[in-house]
Amino acid sequence: MSPTALLREIEANKSKIDQFRPLSLSLVQQIRAYWRVGLTYSSNAIEGNTLTETETKVLIEDGLTIGGKSLRETFEVVGHSDAMTFLYDFVDKKEKTSEETVKKLHSCFYRLIDEANAGSYRKTAIFISGTDYIPPKWEELETLMKKGVAPLLISTEPIPIIAAKWHTLIANMHPFIDGNGRTARLMMNLLLLQHGYPITVVPPIYRVKYIQLCNQANKGNDSGFLTFIQELVLQAQTDYLRLLEASR
């Protein structure tokens, strides 16, 4: 499907979803709990976290730690869930996105892992395993992030495109010492949810393709990545419509 046809299909699905609104508070809570587990599991799994989706659900909803799993992996789940709470509150309060939103999402996710660096841009060079792409020097991050964020705040492109470009900006800059991928996916979903689109996950089965497209985007060719995200948004809408139909 061409990018233009994808966007048409996405907007047609959005219209179908909007016909179900307003949703009851009970249904919103159920759907958000479903998304919280789904996005937390998938986003962590892409980065190598070994907790299963069921184990992620138990840890989030029951507060039970999983035997044999590291403290780091546990903190990644709890931190991501905390970041989802911030995301939901941000959307409910109709806050305006900014560069600070990115820092706050990272802080929520990373504070249990490394409080000193949570929400703060890195002060050292880093290298991304599996690619020859070298992120910007840390001394340039403040300027480059502001320069990158500015056009996104005023863009009139379709929201799925803007959301994907927030992702590519964070992935390209790699502004934090760690947790950049998860922060990028959280920020992308904050934009989507804020404008009436469902939470969109990158299934771990697509990990290799996702990383390859991120690498291409880092090198200046983001067309494949933008199309990939639109395809995932369309799939998320299909799943969301199924849930809404079942709730009738």
Q: Any idea which residues carry the catalytic annotation?
A: 174
Between CA 192 and CA 76 the distance in angstroms is: 23
CA 122 to chain centre: 20
Q: Are 187 and 102 in contact (CB under 8 A)?
A: yes
Burial status of residue 114 (CB atoms within 10 A of its CB: 0-12, 13-18, 19 or more): middle
Instruction: Give the DSSP letter of residue 117.
Output: G
Q: What is the per-residue burial (b if ≥16 Cβ within 10 Å, else e) of 15-38? A: eebeeeeeeeeeeeeebbeebbbb
Q: Where are the alpha helices (DSSP H) in 19-158?
A: 25-46, 53-62, 71-92, 99-110, 141-154
Between CA 137 and CA 27 the distance in angstroms is: 46
Q: What is the per-residue burial (b if ≥16 Cβ within 10 Å, else e) of 229-244? A: bbbbbbebbeebeeeb
Residues in the chain: 248
Kindly state the tokens that stand for 69.
């799993």
Kindly state the tokens that stand for 36.
């919280």
Q: Are 77 and 40 in contact (CB under 8 A)?
A: yes
